Structure 1
Amino acid sequence: MRTKLKFILTLLTAFTVHLSFAQQAISGTVTDQDGLPLPGVNIMVKGTTNGTQTDFDGNYTITASSGDVLVYTYIGMTDATRTVGANTTINLAMQEDAQALDEVVVTALGISREEKSLGYSSQQLESESIADVPTTNVVNALSGKIAGVNITQSSGDIGSSSRITVRGVSTIFGNSQPLIVVDGAVVDNNTYNGGNAGTDVPNGLADINPQDIESINVLKGGEATALYGMRGTNGVLVITTKTGKKGKALGISINSTVSFSNPYIFPDYQNEYGQGHSPDLFHFIDGFGYDEGLAGGDGGTDESWGPRLDAGLEFVQFGSYIQNPDNPQPLPWVSYPNSVVDNFYQTGLSTDNTVALSGGTESTSYRLSLGLTDATGIVYNTDLKKYNIAGNVSFDLNEKWSAGFSARYTKSTSDQRNGVGYGEVSNQVGQLVWSARQVDWSLLKDWRNLPLINTVDDGRERLTPLNWNLRYNNNPFWALDNNLNPWERNRFIATANIGHQFNDKFRFDVNTAIDYFDDTREKQFKYGTVDFRNGYYQLEERNRYEVNSQAMFSYNDRYGANDQWKLNMLVGGQIMVNKYSYFGGIAQNLVIDNLFNLANSDGAPVLSDDSSEQRINSLYGTGSLSYNDNIYLNFSGRNDWASVLPIQNNSVFYPAVSTSALVHDILNIESQQLNFLKLRASWAQTGSAGPLSAYSVNPVYELSGNPLNGSTPTAFVPNTAWNSDIKAQTETAIEAGIETRLFQNRINLNLTYYNKKNEDVIMPLDVSSSSGFTSTWKNAATITNEGVEAFLGIDVLRSAKDNGLNLGLDINFAKNVNEVSDIEGSGVINLSAGGLWNVNTQARNGESIGAIFGPAFARDEASGKIIYENGLPVIGDNKILGNSQPDWVGGVGINASFKGFRFRTLFDAKIGGEVYSQTNTWGMLSGILEETVIGRESGIIGDGVMSDGAGGFVPNNVVVPAIDYYSSAFNQNIAESSVYDATFVKWRELSLSYDIPRQFFENIGVQSVNLGVNIRNLAVLYRKAPHIDPETAFGTQIGQQGLEYAQTPATRTIGVSLNVNF
């Protein structure tokens, strides 16, 4: 007995000793993917009831044995596991659960909805997709990422404006871009840029720091936007910014990026022939005067049809005046192949820094961020600076009351914005379309040491530095240093809200939001400036603010024996007020050079002043009825009373209804292959006031900028007559779609069909001049947009390990067919101002908006060949030469992660559509493009036919000099020669980042460090339009699409980013 007792005691002792060695205290810290501590994470030993939670700083301690599996769970995060080994410290960075995040999206009026309940297509971008490849204009970050969204960047200038179109163009005049809503505040996205000339400044959306953005949800269809009334008809971008999290300790995030930009799309220049008109002679006279005694040309000639370069010839030329301005001598006539590109453009440098503090307590959350962007453009002496400060805070005042406040201020400034478009003397890129091939542009850059040339012959001195051609162009570097286009914009956006939760069913909310900006632009031209020899000064000041205030009452409840019925209701009212004021002044001739003030005008300055106020009062309601959480019926209605419409027509009602059914749940499908299947459909009516402004429909007088006798104010009646019968244009939209997830959610497919019909489209129509007006407002057209959209997401590889290899593929596709009809009168509306170069963009019955219309080649009807006369092409009739709208757009994104590395890349494409390129027209006419070398010695026989003298045609066989051929065939009198297919495929983005292991810095309070490299605009993989970027346009207005001239080239930007979280 005693032996047995000893044995049992020995066994128990050994077992106890074994347990004491096997069990151990495991501790660590749990953070989110940004390295910020996560309080309240549940940690369990798998298969047991042993568990704990992380504290406020994300720390935990738990007892476990070697080989045990720890399970970490947290709402909104993907569950994670760790196996206990010899190491007693286990730290973990939890990843956001993408599927869980997708379940709730922010929709119209900031209402959060379950994604599965929506009866329309919704596509959302998260912060990583927006900020991984930084850009000074966040609009450009949307390219190729969202089906049905078309982005057009106006140029490669630093901070250039970009145009957004959602599901096609829905109006002929006025704003056709989507409404921008930031944290509930409607933000004015207009640029207020000029027509075909002026300076380009960033969109309003560019004032938002991309590092502050949490997500962008694009509402495309009528049912999605109906709650925004007449301002949501073009779609809505709902932008949610980052906030702090309740219960989280103070965290500090620092993000810094340094980027280098260089132009990567240039004209292909010829380098065989120099400046002039004659292949034998050239004589330069100060770049301004003409030598009538020489047949060979002069310094006032800007074409390059002169003598052959690098052939041992010598002429008095630009460089001769630098060496000896009083007695210029002949110099070797040689080419400088890369001189223009290498000297005119520079490497743009941008530094972007953001510091953010965020956190919260059990009842509050807060975030404060400071941002600074300091950038120089690729065009000499152009720049952009942005200063951002943003903050938000939310409070649970008690169990019933909650409140929140957000504010952001942005100051954007530039000492020099490059001019854009045709007829803009400050667009120095225009010189490159005519640049002489024998000029060393590095000499132009040293303008301070160049001889001064007097540019007037009336006895005054208007001296400017020597230029290769001073008759049409100033020295570009002198102009960029002295003729400044300064710009400044200050923007303030703020929101405030307070809510009361009566019980679990009823809630009341009140919120207000303001968007304010002031915008100042100047043009400062010194004496001697081309077209403004006596100097010029222009000042423009704009102020605008908009206030939206609303109150909402919501109700949520479940009914039925098993709560299978669910009803959500919301009713509310809104008041919108915006006020706009403008002051402009022009001093045509300056008394004192370089003193830029309206009082310095030689004579009375031309002044203009404008102010307006608009108001929309609204009532709205929305509801959702669901059965078993798998069948949904959604309905909404909004009534706007708009001050811009006549009083008898200012009340407009916008209804919408949609349904969605979760087929997989209704049919109880439990399958590894089919995980989710949703059918949806919607119908809605929306609309807008189109181009109507505050006083379009009321009889008013406008003050003239030219007072009588220099002092008595005068007023005039506008040229466009008011129409008291005008009514809002109405859009009726239907949408149907299917969403499915397959093979354990590895494949996500979303297909959508839509049809939108806009009736009673508002436009100005010509009237008889005997009426005293030139036009009147009328409801006079119909526009339809019909299309399909597709999104396909594929998890090609999905690792079960946290640091394993993951590979995903996202594909977007959208095709839209646009057609305008029922235009009264001639059935044609010209959209581009003045018909540049005999070319117009038009709205024309039976065509898509944006038809390119102009003179074509005369052609033989039988063969379609060009008709020649005396060896030169014959000008034919005006006709439709193309259209600015693409046939379809798409994008392919690839993302991967492995052991702390993250990789993203994006390809996007626009297929079809056309662009008219004046760069090509004048590049051929001036003889600088490489194609113009052909036939310089032998002449050219145009490919086509000529008259046989008997009413028929024979092949053309007449030889003409190359200068005559190119000056005739490539001339704005025959626009067809420069209309090109605008198709392109671009490698748009690439980013590679690495999360540096935490053990290298965990002892100094750093939670995470991420280092990344990013590239935007890697390459043009395919394009048909030569010498230009077919993606660019004159600006963001409808009529400016499809037109190109001397746009600053697109840039390839390479950046290095560092993100540190404390």
Structure 2
Amino acid sequence: MKKLTTGLLVLVLTSSLAVANAQQKKDTIKTKEIEGVVVTALGIKREKRSLGYSTTEVKGDQVANAPVANVTDALAGQVAGLNITQSGTMGGSANMVIRGTKSLVGNNQALVVVDGTPINNDTFNQTDIASGVGAYDYSNGMADINPNDIESVNVLKGAAASALYGSRGMNGVIMITTKKGKKSRKVGVEFNSSTTLGFVDKSTLPKYQKEYGGGYSGDSFYPGSIDINGDGVPDHVVYTYDDASFGTRFDPKLMVYNWDSQYPQLPGYLKPTPFVAGKDPNSIWGTATTFQNSVAFSAGNEKGKYRLGYTNFLQDGSLDNSTIKKNTIDFSADYNFTEKLNVFGNISYVNTKGKGRVLTGYDSRNPMQSFRQWWNMSVDMDKQRQAYNLTGQNMTWNIQDWSDQSMGYTDNYFFNRYQNYQTDNRNRYYGNFGLNYKITDWLSTMVRYTFDTFDELREERVAKGSSSEQGRLPHGGKGEYYFLNHKVSESNYDVMLNVNKDFGSDFNLTGTLGWNLRTISSGSGFTGAWMNSGDIENKGVEARLTVVPIKNTNFKWEMTANWSKNKNTVTRISGDSQFLQLAKMWNVTTGAQLGESTGTIRGYDFVYLNGERVVGADGKYLQGDNPTAIIGDAVPKWRGGLLNTITYKNFSLSFLIDVKKGGDVYSRDMAYGLSSGLYEETAGLNDLGNPIRNSLADGGGVILPGVKADGTPNDIRADFTDSANPYGYTGGSGGTEAPEKMHVYDGSFVKLRNVTISYRLPKETFGNSFIESMTLSLIGRNLWIIHKNTPYTDPEAGMSAGNAMGFQNGAHPAFREIGASVKVEF
């Protein structure tokens, strides 16, 4: 007869009020998991088959194999039901959502617990990010966890998994267990070192047209007669105020006076140059470097054990004047004072210093806002760099007028990087200490105190001589300084009574009775609140399967596949509203639509006839009358991953394929970039073999696929001579010459996420030396976007870790990382 195991009800008493912005009505998941031993919400190891909820474990080696600045990034593609989104900036934030969005306006991130200590994983960002307005991304709490210190990560799903943490655990729990000391005859030493190089993925950068210069309506030059060289003949002086590229066709035989010819301090002063395209902005991206070194000492015996570790992390970003420095010290220990009394504790200290982080969203100090949306192709970025290096001043190409060298609205990019930079310094302490007391053989108690506190200093600068952007910082060329110093602290007390009693060979009783006192973060400004703005229903299916197709003495091939599908539906919104807006970008909104998902994208759609887009008399697509038509859904249809691990003797190869299906993205970058004449699509030849920017009389323009109002195929040629082209943005009542639906893209992708090749040197290599083992590895991360539908960008590139999704606005490119590591144990 099988043993009967009964779990007692866990009683939780709390002193704080739960903040609930929306309730999860259903969580219906069918799950098949591989059997094994996991760490539960109580920090206790139990067999999976004895649990009433789904868990997935990721080993520490899989987390540390490809060094990352944020541990969240290492989990991408490895856990069924876990959806991760990133901002794409250096040291940026990452969002973790398990089994769909559960709160309309509250936090949807999974609760992070490190060795029983709940960690504040809120973003450290500015609130403007959520609406697409420019702001710095200061990362979030997971970035403060040391990947080299992780023994395992268990993702606990469903309400039962997180019952101990109350409303904080409603989004699931990321349970991190750190490495501990072990019994040994001597002090063990472990050393890890890795170096990676990051190269921009060119498929996520714009492809610029190089045929036409800056300006509008086919004209790149100042009107009137400007005689620069004094020969009595008017010269061609490049107009320096327009940030679009619908100007004159480039001609290397035509000598012109460009922006640098107007500054006496520069070598090009009063010198004409050929009228050709300048070095485009893609040249600003250099090679990023990441160095990570760690050392750990551990020892133990029958009475107790300890582990002390130190990690140094240094990342030099791809952009000028950008670095992140991080130093981490970890200590853990436990000691058996008697056979019944055990005391334990661990503490981590993390200091993070950032410099030159870049903004996200629509802001002139986010370089990609200009370089993806509004840019003058006559500008040479190498000359902009030279101008700053020679003078240290804001020698911008964007001059008001030939007779007035005062700046317009755009700074010299390199002046921004070296003068208008930010710095941040964060100190964080977290950990716990407590005791276990064995009352009887079957009854024990645990008392534990946990804490998590950090203080942060931020400084943001706007140097004297910077341009003044209308509606933003009112520095007006006089400079400005922003300072923020804040501290957040949280502490928790736990008392648990554990029962494990055998009543004979066929009956066993196991249970836990717990009491805890948990504080609400002082950074929230509240002690409690009640609110319910709607109901959300999540229905889904998850699967995880491990197969070993080949295994013998020297060779093993193991494949682990995971797949998840979640249907997210808003079933109720409070009041009479049918839509709860979460973010807005001009005329486009995303949010919770009654009967649809929490990632519904709304804006102007096309006019359709029998499923075909209808074209008007001017050859351009007609726009519907509804400004809140549903034009996309940012929630993915399903996600999956495939991890392959192949070992042959002392060699091993592992690689991870990450797949996402669906999840629409509205790209403001494409809407503006096509309007301003930046991209390849705005130049070239049409079906007649003529330049599309020629006038219609000269055979220019394009014929769009679709039908006319009478249902016949479209044969009307649309004008393409200026920003009012059939693809771009004009700022009219609908916001675009083409409806916003034109710039909604399918966010599906297939990625080669991680590759690691390792060789473990044979033990006999070291003989009787103090080295016990050594492993050498070649590592790669984000090596290949095998498939995507979003042009010139990474489908995962967002603005921040938050509820706002489905927007790309000044998106940063992805990076391929290649490097090497060594692990030595003494």
Normalising TM by the smaller chain, what interval? 0.7 to 0.9
Tell me which residue corresponds to 1:535: 479
For residues 784 and 283 of structure 1, do their structure 2 counterparts lie closer, same or farther at Cα, with a shift above 3 Å needed? same
Structure-2 change in CA distance of 1:1027 and 1:390 (3 Å): same
Q: Which position in structure 2 is the counterpart of 1:868?
A: 616
Match of 1:936 among 693, 703, 719: 693
Q: Deviations over 1:672-710 (max 9, x none)?
A: xxxxxxxxxxxxxxxxxxxxxxxxxxxxxxxxxxxxxxx
Q: Distance in 2 between matches of 1:1020 and 1:353?
A: 29
**Corresponding residue SS for 1:1047:** coil
* Match status 1:575 vs 2:499: no
Q: In 1, Cα distance between the equivalents of 2:467 and 2:259?
A: 18
Deviation (angstroms), 1:446: 2.4
Measured after TM superposition, the shift of residue 440 of structure 1 is 2.4
Q: Take 2:364 and 2:632, find their aligned partners in 1: how far apart are those partners? A: 29
Query: Hey, what's the Cα distance between the residues in 2 that align with 1:557 and 1:277?
Result: 82
Which of 526, 536, 545 is 1:792 aligned to? 545
Query: 1:365, CA displacement in angstroms?
Result: 1.0
Which range is displaced more, 1047-1056 or 365-374? 1047-1056
What's 1:1031 paired with?
Answer: 796
* AA at the equivalent of 2:794: D
User: Does the CA-based 8 Å contact 1:127-1:215 persist in structure 2?
Assistant: yes
SS at match of 2:253: coil
Q: 1:957 to 1:256 in 2, by over 3 A?
A: same
C-alpha separation in 2, matches of 1:1016 and 1:556 = 45
Distance in 1 (CA, whole Å) between partners of 2:318 and 2:241 is: 28
Shift of 1:271: 1.5
What is the aligned counterpart of 1:112 among 28, 41, 45? Answer: 45
1:307 alignment counterpart: 248
Tell me the CA shift for residue 351 of structure 1.
0.6
How far the C-alpha of 1:336 sits from its partner, in A, is 4.2
Please report how far the alpha carbon of residue 306 of structure 1 lies from its aligned counterpart in structure 2 after TM superposition.
1.5
1:480 matched residue in structure 2: 417
The answer on whether the counterparts of 2:150 and 2:178 sit within 8 Å (CA) in structure 1 is yes
Match of 1:374 in 2: 314
1:414 alignment counterpart = 354
Once residues 706 and 661 of structure 2 are traced to their aligned partners in structure 1, the CA distance between those partners, rounded to angstroms, is 33
Quote the residue 1:438 is aligned against: 378
Match for 2:98 among 166, 174, 185? 166
CA pair 832-480 structure 1, distance change in 2 beyond 3 A: farther
Inter-partner Cα distance in structure 2 for 1:885 and 1:389: 39
Aligned pair partner of 1:490 in 395, 414, 427: 427
Paired amino acid for 1:943: L
Q: What are the residue-to-residue correspondences of 1:121-132 with 2, within 5 Å?
A: 121-132=54-65
1:416·1:487 contact (CA, 8 Å) conserved in 2? no
Match of 2:147 in 1: 210
Counterpart code for 1:229: G
1:955 aligned partner? 714
Inter-CA distance 363–284: structure 2 relative to 1 (3 Å threshold): farther
Could you tell me how far apart the structure 2 residues matched to 1:852 and 1:336 are?
37
* TM-score normalised to structure 2 length: 0.86
3-state SS of paired residue (2:616) = strand
Partner of 2:809: 1045
Residue 647 of structure 2: aligned partner:
897
- Structure 2 residue aligned with 1:429: 368
Residues of 2 paired with 1:516 and 1:214: CA distance? 23
Alignment match of 1:906 (pick from 634, 656, 662):
656
Which whole-Å CA distance do the structure 1 matches of 2:497 and 2:219 have between them?
Answer: 84
Find the aligned partners of 2:711 and 2:48 in 1 and give their Cα distance. Answer: 68
Contact 1:363/1:397 (CA < 8 Å) preserved in 2? yes
Match of 2:783 among 1018, 1023, 1046: 1018
Deviation at 1:222, TM superposition (A): 1.4
In 1, Cα distance between the equivalents of 2:41 and 2:35? Answer: 16
2:317 paired with 1:558: no
Flag structure 2 segments of 5+ consecutive residues without an equivalent: 1-33, 225-233, 400-406, 469-474, 685-691
Counterpart in the other structure of 2:187: 250
Question: Are 1:395 and 1:404, in contact at CA under 8 Å, matched by a contact in 2?
Answer: yes
User: Would you say how many aligned residue pairs link Structure 1 and Structure 2?
Assistant: 742
1:471/1:566 CA distance change after superposition, 3 Å: same
**Does 1:146 pair with 2:79?**
yes
Partner SS state of residue 1028, structure 1: coil
Are 2:615 and 2:714, in contact at CA under 8 Å, matched by a contact in 1? no
Amino acid at match of 1:391: F
**Equivalent-residue separation in structure 1 for 2:617 and 2:252 (angstroms):** 35
Match of 2:108 in 1: 176
Q: Secondary structure at the match of 1:822?
A: strand
Question: 2:630 is paired with a residue of what secondary structure?
Answer: strand
1:413-812 to 2 correspondences below 5 Å: 413-422=353-362, 424-433=363-372, 434-449=374-389, 464-467=394-397, 470-531=407-468, 532=475, 533-560=477-504, 563-581=505-523, 612=525, 614=527, 644-645=528-529, 726=530, 762=531, 779-799=532-552, 801=553, 804-812=554-562
- Structure 1 residue 534: Cα displacement: 2.1
**Cα deviations by residue, 1:1005-1047 (Å, 9 ceiling, x for unpaired):** 11111111100001110011111111111211112x1100112
Structure 2 CA distance, aligned partners of 1:1011 and 1:379?
30
8 Å CA contact 1:528–1:534 kept in 2: the answer is yes
Give the letter for the 1:893 counterpart. L
Look up the SS of the partner of 2:725 in the other structure: helix
Matches within 5 A, 1:879-890: 879-890=629-640
Partner SS, residue 570 of structure 2: strand
Aligned match for 1:189, one of 117, 121, 136: 121
Displacement after TM superposition at 1:127 (Å): 0.9
Q: Which has the higher contact order (CA 8 A, sep 6+)?
A: 2
For residue 794 of structure 1, what is the amino acid of its counterpart? V
Q: Distance in 2 between matches of 1:405 and 1:251?
A: 20
State whether residues 196 and 289 of structure 2, in contact with CA within 8 Å, keep that contact through their aligned partners in structure 1: yes
Q: Distance in 2 between matches of 1:946 and 1:145?
A: 45
* CA shift digits 1:387-419 (9 cap, x unpaired): 100010011111111010100000011122111
Q: Which amino acid aligns with 1:315?
A: V
Partners of 1:310 and 1:335 within 8 A in 2: no
Distance in 2 between residues matched to 1:443 and 1:181, nearest whole Å? 51
The alpha carbon displacement at 1:296 in A equals 9.6
Contact 1:256 1:1057 in 2 (8 A): yes
- In the alignment, is residue 279 of structure 1 matched against residue 227 of structure 2? no
Counterpart of 1:925 in structure 2: which amino acid?
S
Deviation at 1:384, TM superposition (A): 0.5
CA contact (8 A) 1:322 1:450 kept: no
Following superposition, the deviation at residue 284 of structure 1 comes to 11
CA positional deviation for 1:359: 1.5
Task: Judge conservation of contact 2:153–2:175 (CA < 8 Å) in 1.
Answer: yes
Return the offset for 1:933: 0.5
Q: Distance in 1 between matches of 2:289 and 2:727?
A: 42
**C-alpha separation between the residues in 2 aligned to 1:376 and 1:1013?**
20
Q: Report the alpha carbon displacement of residue 488 of structure 1 after superposing the two structures with TM.
A: 1.4
Q: Which amino acid aligns with 2:514?
A: G
Structure-2 separation of matches of 1:284 and 1:443: 25
CA contact 1:941–1:956 (8 Å) conserved in 2? no
Q: Which residue of 2 aligns with 1:966?
A: 725
Give the corresponding residue for 1:622.
none
CA separation of 1:874/1:316 partners in 2, compared to 1, >3 Å: closer, same or farther? farther
